[in-house]
């Protein structure tokens, strides 16, 4: 049964996702209408106000998500240098902000305007972005600094209940998170590479097994964070076409990821089993480029084998947790 706190956290998770995705659309609309510069300050203030009321930990994670989603996509695809600078640096700072110190997130918002001042060639519709981002980023950066100095985020960073020295420090937790991020990226690349091949059905289970084995060195709470993140990411693959139903399912999977963490991994097992069946539903054909980016299995049977392998493990994982709680 869901208690009031579970329901509250679940609703706030949906809220954070909706605000973050919604803002990316607002920025896009402002760009198309040519009003991005005059809208930059109001947009920054609006985003601050929409996150301001959230409790510290939810807000910190929300700002990390918004940092990755909004900053990494600003010039995505403009050049390889910007891809590295605005994805890798932003992602690293966001992870460190959650597991180490919120100053990393504030810092990236304050540093990002310096990037906006670097002369470079931009598409015609993005010419206003540098100045607009300069204004928008500073509004958010100043707000974050204000809340950090007011000690609002002091107990918000994510820590793990373990005796391991590695996970007792911010550097150790951040390093572990980055290692597991590299695992997810590797899995996505492997799946995207073999997904068009006829033999992909035969490698689906080994890929799932390799993914599972890569988590076993983490403390149990760390493993749960990993599976919550991966379940949410897997849910994002539903929304590849932008259709309303797929976006709704994506939102549902994000909710399921949170509930699985708070209530029971059995919920994750059910979500992955559902995803396995989804592969067989008729829908718009996914391009190979999308498969490479999202880690899609292009052959339904291969996708089902992979998802069911993960679901079976998470079912076992949930049983073990239940036994531990009873002991």
Q: What are the pLDDT digits (tens) for 100-130?
A: 999 999 999 998 777 766 666 655 555 566 6
For residue 37, what pLDDT is reported?
83
Contacts of residue 199, defined as CB under 8 A and 6 or more positions apart, other chains included, come to: none
* pLDDT beyond 60 at 77: no
DSSP letter, residue 3? -
d(CA 260, CA 123): 42
* pLDDT beyond 70 at 87: no
Which own/partner pairs from 201-206 qualify as long-range (CB within 8 Å, at least 24 positions apart)? 201/299, 201/301, 201/302, 201/305, 203/302, 204/297, 204/302, 204/303, 204/305, 204/306, 204/309, 205/305, 205/306, 205/309
Beta strands in the chain (DSSP E): none
pTM of the full structure: 0.87
Whether residue 65 contacts residue 20, with contact meaning beta carbons closer than 8 Å, is answered with yes
| Phi, psi for 12 (deg, rounded to 5) | -70, -35
Top mean pLDDT of 29-43, 184-198, 204-218, 269-283 is at 204-218
Q: Which residue has the higher pLDDT, 14 or 320?
A: 320
The mean predicted confidence, pLDDT, of the chain is: 84
* pLDDT beyond 70 at 238: no
The share of the chain scoring above pLDDT 70, in percent, equals: 82
DSSP letter, residue 166? G
Start-to-end Cα distance in the chain: 21
d(CA 17, CA 15): 5
Q: Which whole number is the average pLDDT over 231-241?
A: 71
Helices 220-236, 300-326: inter-axial angle, 10-degree rounding = 150
d(CA 122, CA 132): 14
pLDDT tens, position by position, 160-219: 888 788 898 999 999 999 999 999 989 988 988 888 788 999 999 999 999 999 999 999
CA distances from 274 to 14, 17, 188, 305 (A): 20, 22, 20, 12
For residue 14, what pLDDT is reported?
85
For residue 2, what pLDDT is reported?
64
d(CA 267, CA 265): 5
For residue 3, what pLDDT is reported?
76
Q: Band of the pLDDT at 134, cuts 50, 70, 90?
A: confident
For residue 286, what pLDDT is reported?
62
Q: Band of the pLDDT at 60, cuts 50, 70, 90?
A: very high
């Amino acid at each position: 049964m869901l208690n009031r706190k579970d329901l509250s956290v679940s609703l706030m998770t949906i809220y954070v996702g909706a605000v973050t995705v919604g803002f990316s659309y607002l920025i896009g609309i402002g760009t198309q209408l040519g009003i991005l510069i005059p809208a930059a300050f109001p947009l920054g203030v609006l985003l601050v106000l929409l996150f301001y009321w959230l409790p510290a930990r939810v807000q910190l994670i929300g700002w990390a998500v918004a940092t990755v989603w909004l900053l990494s996509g600003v010039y995505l695809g403009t050049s390889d240098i910007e891809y590295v600078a605005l994805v890798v640096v932003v992602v690293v700072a966001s992870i460190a902000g959650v597991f180490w110190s919120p100053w990393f997130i504030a810092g990236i918002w304050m540093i990002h305007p310096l990037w906006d001042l670097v002369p470079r060639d931009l598409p015609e519709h993005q010419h206003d972005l540098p100045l607009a981002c300069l204004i928008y980023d500073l509004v958010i950066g100043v707000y974050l600094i204000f809340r950090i100095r007011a000690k609002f985020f002091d107990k918000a960073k994510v820590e793990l209940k373990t005796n391991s020295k590695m996970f007792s420090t911010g550097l150790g937790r951040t390093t572990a998170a980055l290692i597991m991020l590299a695992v997810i990226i590797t899995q996505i690349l492997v799946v995207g590479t073999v997904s068009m091949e006829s033999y992909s059905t035969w490698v689906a289970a080994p890929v799932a097994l390799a993914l599972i084995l890569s988590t076993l060195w983490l403390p149990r709470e760390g493993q749960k964070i990993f599976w919550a993140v991966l379940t949410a990411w897997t849910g994002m693959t539903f929304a590849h076409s932008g259709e309303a139903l797929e976006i709704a399912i994506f939102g549902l999977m994000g909710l399921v990821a949170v509930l699985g963490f708070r209530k029971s991994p059995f919920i994750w097992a059910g979500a992955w089993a559902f995803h396995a069946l989804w592969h067989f539903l008729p829908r718009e054909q996914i391009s190979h480029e999308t498969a490479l980016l999202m880690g899609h299995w292009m052959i339904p049977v291969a996708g089902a084998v992979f998802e069911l392998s993960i679901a079976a493990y998470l079912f076992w994982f949930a049983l073990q947790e239940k036994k531990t709680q009873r002991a």
